[in-house]
Structure 1
């Protein structure tokens, strides 16, 4: 791949870089910021950014990559890896995480916490043959409906990769704004390894409620800015690789409403969404900070191209791996409600980690 050399050259020169492909697209892009990227300051405005790429952590100010160089390329179609054989479960991590879930259930029963999203990590050594741009191609082939990305910012160290289905805020050149509520998770394959059709999915009360929390939060944000004219589609079941989710889509014609600042306003209100944090937001953030033993860093933040071709596409950074040399840290989380079962929540994080592992670890 011609941009494989550009990626390695940029790493050597200390450039900040992002390579990505939007869902349902063949064309991919590589942006390079030769200054190493910029950490934005309080009061930054999405509308005032030049063309480039934005990447924010779970908590904290985002990094902006100015498009000093922008190139496009096609992700080559690749044969998908053979079925992934997961390593044995890490029993200490399992016990720890299930303990966190049990604590969360008790906290929710006491109130005012209604839902909290807890995450964990899974660490593995990468194969000797691992290559970032080759891995990006493989992710693109495995997950055509997801946003796939590789991100390198010198201040962070290492490379972050994701294959995420979740739009945070998006606005196209025609001024059509979109955001989605995505929550609830179950396996997309049956016991025999065959894909489960979305129409065959059966959702529990817990999963329906979990997704409804996210939907209500989006609508509450619309109310805060007195936005009443929007289209709501869903909830419906969607397939993303080996998983099924519940999704509701919200659409606004910002040109018809003369509301061009909507993406920036909604970005500030939504992040971190209840899909990665919980409800109420501050109580959920406080519980996460007091409970999780790892730093989420860029996991469950957001990232994507901004003001390129008069369009912005920002996605929640899910199905995420942090790569440092030959070491990979996979991140996964799940929403906890009063009806959660610790063993089932652990299994959900297992499935989510394997979204990337089954491609990258072979």
Structure 2
């Protein structure tokens, strides 16, 4: 049966239709919903070869950028150009009549795929995705030893802080419904950047990031420092939370790093708000927000400048940045790929919103690889850091294993 263009659909149905459009196009596509928003957006570039671009974001056409944790030799990022774009409001009823013309034309010649057929299509298209993890990155003893090595390096004054990461691989269940998973993430995590992207032969990822790297809208530039983690408990976790000195200092380090970047470019006029406690899923973090008027300060390309200075942030790498990065390359034992890199829409509807790729999973074959890190300071406890990564893995993992979790 062909799709009836006047049929009303549930939100999950529409997401499944968008996934069908993307996966049957043989191209690259991304679907996302920004924090505190009801708008779901998709960009699709149906050319088979993934595109790479320089990081001069002010000059890019509208699209979606994806950059790995480790800078590439060519200093470029993957880019899904918005050859086709569509957005819809989750709060409003939607029929296939509301889809853009390009989507109707593509769907007109297709059978409507079932969730299981989309799952099969997804798995067939991720068979060649390279996920270069190792048995080490799954191993608890390896991770706790990594934390101990980090503490030792801090005690020896080689580092102030380091953020080791690990992976956890879970199977994708037979009843996996990607549309339901995305919708459940959107409903469960209103303050996160919910995202899915597919780059043929490169990677297929799903995530719910709590951390903005940079944002530009008109003349305003924003960034944030987010660090410190504890589980949200009790009825009103924002009121009852108590932070330890270790967590307060960890977040202050990130804020100081952002201010040092401003000083490096002689930018003196900025607003800083925080730190305040914020809820991200079932976890609490400390966050400070920074805001700058690019016009008044004479920095029209501040987005690109700060992207270069901030990534990788001390929240995902450590301090000093270069030494922490070298430590991770030497001891971590796996390729982070897009985990702790950055991603997001660029120059769409006059806005650029780029997020750190956290609370994320790579989909490949019949499995999902979850990624999580923990901020290590001198006061860290290896067992507690492992528990923190377990909590972070659950944020995405539970929705993959049970889409309506």
Q: 2: CA distance between counterparts of 1:92 and 1:167?
A: 27
Partner of 2:24, secondary structure, is helix
Q: 2: CA distance between counterparts of 1:270 and 1:203?
A: 25
Partner of 1:250, secondary structure, is strand
2:62 is aligned to 51
1:154 to 2:200 alignment: yes
More divergent stretch after superposition (7-16 vs 212-221): 7-16
1:22 to 2:5 alignment: no
**TM superposition shift of 1:91:** 12
Partner of 1:335, secondary structure, is coil
More divergent stretch after superposition (295-304 vs 60-69): 60-69
- Verify the 8 A CA contact 2:138 2:168 in the aligned structure 1: no
Q: 2: CA distance between counterparts of 1:213 and 1:155?
A: 38
Q: 2: CA distance between counterparts of 1:295 and 1:75?
A: 36
Q: 2: CA distance between counterparts of 1:195 and 1:46?
A: 42
Q: 1: CA distance between counterparts of 2:91 and 2:180?
A: 9
Q: 2: CA distance between counterparts of 1:91 and 1:314?
A: 27
**TM superposition shift of 1:256:** 2.8
Over alpha carbons, which structure has the higher Rg?
2
Mind listing any 5+ residue stretches in structure 2 that lack a counterpart? 1-12, 93-135
Q: 2: CA distance between counterparts of 1:37 and 1:3?
A: 23
What's the CA shift string for 1:310-344, capped at 9, x where partnerless?
11000000001111132010000011111111011
2:231 is aligned to 187
- Verify the 8 A CA contact 2:207 2:358 in the aligned structure 1: yes
1:230–1:303 Cα change, 3 Å: same
1:32–1:92 Cα change, 3 Å: closer
Q: 2: CA distance between counterparts of 1:287 and 1:220?
A: 22
1:92–1:282 Cα change, 3 Å: closer
2:114 is aligned to none
**TM superposition shift of 1:258:** 3.5
- Verify the 8 A CA contact 2:138 2:167 in the aligned structure 1: no
1:236 is aligned to 276
Q: 2: CA distance between counterparts of 1:312 and 1:106?
A: 40
- Verify the 8 A CA contact 1:76 1:137 in the aligned structure 2: no
1:319–1:38 Cα change, 3 Å: same
What's the CA shift string for 1:138-178, capped at 9, x where partnerless?
10001001110001011313x20110110000011x32111
**TM superposition shift of 1:127:** 1.7
- Verify the 8 A CA contact 1:51 1:307 in the aligned structure 2: yes
1:222 is aligned to 262
**TM superposition shift of 1:2:** 3.0
1:117 to 2:136 alignment: no
Q: 2: CA distance between counterparts of 1:281 and 1:300?
A: 14
- Verify the 8 A CA contact 2:163 2:318 in the aligned structure 1: yes
1:275 is aligned to 315
1:169 is aligned to 214
1:312–1:110 Cα change, 3 Å: same
Structure 1 runs, 4 residues or longer, greater than 3 Å off: 74-77
TM-score normalised according to structure 2 size: 0.81
Partner of 2:66, secondary structure, is strand
1:334 is aligned to 374
What's the CA shift string for 1:75-120, capped at 9, x where partnerless?
479xxxxxxxxxxxx9972222111101111111112211110000
Partner of 2:335, secondary structure, is coil
1:153–1:195 Cα change, 3 Å: farther
2:326 is aligned to 286
**TM superposition shift of 1:180:** 0.2
**TM superposition shift of 1:37:** 3.0
Q: 2: CA distance between counterparts of 1:4 and 1:58?
A: 29
TM-score normalised according to structure 1 size: 0.90
Partner of 1:336, secondary structure, is coil
- Verify the 8 A CA contact 2:213 2:342 in the aligned structure 1: yes
1:320–1:343 Cα change, 3 Å: same
1:128 to 2:168 alignment: no
1:346 to 2:386 alignment: yes
**TM superposition shift of 1:130:** 1.3
| Pairing of 1:76-91 with structure 2 (within 5 A) | none
Q: 1: CA distance between counterparts of 2:232 and 2:376?
A: 20
